[in-house]
Amino acid sequence: MSRAPAPDGVRLSELATLVDGRVIGDANKRVRRVRDAESAEPGDVTFIGHAKHLAYVRATRATAFLTDTRTAAHIAHELPCAVLAVDEPARALVRVIERLMPERAESAFVDTRAHVHLDARIAEGVSIGPGAVVGRAVLGQGVTVGPLAFVDDDVVVEAGAHIGPGVVVLRGSTIGARAILQPGVVVGADGFGYAPDGDRNIKVAQLGVARVERDVEIGANSCVDRGALRDTVVGEGTKVDNLVQIAHGARIGAHAVVVAQSGIAGDADVGARAVLAGQVGVVPYARIGEGARIGAQSGVTHDVAAGSAVSGTPAVAHTAWLKASVRYRSLDDTVRRLRAAERTIAALSERIARLERDTGTRSEDTH
């Protein structure tokens, strides 16, 4: 899919209606596309997602910028452009992009350099790129298979799903409707299952499959292993970042978020709407409750209650981890003061001992 600017532009007043916002400045000005503040030109809308970017906005050439109502109230008078103020800027940005720069559907095609099995079931509107290989699979309406992707036998890819370049979907896996697999994703490879046998490790057959449900997006070079006994499942609407490992039999509920370089071990459960920040590790069989939030680089070694927030390794309540972090930063000073106190105590103990000896000697001299 590609995007192009709106040829005739859209008035800011129309965008304000679309996103339930208000315009501070000239609402009749037209905008055509969304760009970052540094490179924006007249006719562009820019977006501020962090206070660090405000310096760029003050010098922007954009026609308008999108921000939250609180920020707009503080800095709109300083800016050289109009302001589109909204309550939820991230959600509004999605709508603005779709209005100004909608995705353009490309014509369906099967490249002559692709290899498609004669028994594959291909619905209308499917596109298959050069070098792709499709086995005895089922591809639903409007599915796209990128260049050099591999879709194995007995795979089902539901309508509107996108299989990116170099993606591998192995036997028995299912990809839900409108799911997106970014380049390099592997779904359905064997899990890391071995049993000790004397001095060696023997492979345990992986009998389950991998199921990616509808509206899931999986980032580049992430892996979803097939189950050992129970299936591996990535629930509806879940968003998985790049370089994430989802091991055999792990199950992630609906609309969860798993950020880059996280690893979810075998048979672990992650509840619906849970959020795992970057580089989180989850041990086998751990249960993370619905809506739980796991801080970056945390190690989840035990169950986490629904709705709770934890951080650290092993993960503890986020507030406790924050307090411990403060203490950790002052650890060197604490150690120095402790050692000084120990020396003082030792000196006082020695002085008391001498006094006791001297007192005892003088007491004996009086008799």
DSSP classification of residue 304: B
The DSSP H or E segment spanning 233 is strand 232-234
Distance between CA 151 and CA 154 in Å, rounded?
9
Query: How far, rounded to the nearest angstrom, does the alpha carbon of residue 180 sit from its chain's CA centroid?
Result: 14
Q: Beta strand pairing status for 156-157 and 174-175?
A: parallel
Q: Is-catalytic flag, 74?
A: no
Match 């979907």 to its residue by tokens. 169
Contact between residue 255 and residue 272 where contact means Cβ atoms under 8 Å apart: yes
Catalytic residue among 50, 53, 162, 248: 248
Q: Could you give the residue ranges of the DSSP H alpha helices within 20-68?
A: 54-58
Distance between CA 121 and CA 34 in Å, rounded?
40
Question: In sequence order, what are the residues at sequence separation of 6 or more whose Cβ sits closer than 8 angstroms to the Cβ of residue 357?
Answer: none
Q: Which two tokens stand for residue 102?
A: 């909608």
Q: Return the half-sphere exposure (C-beta side, CA atoms, 13 A cut-off) of residue 108.
A: 13
61 C-beta neighbours (distance < 10 Å), count: 16
Distance between CA 149 and CA 128 in Å, rounded?
9
Nearest Cα to 250, choosing from 196, 300, 314, 316? 300
Which residues does the annotation mark as catalytic? Answer: 248
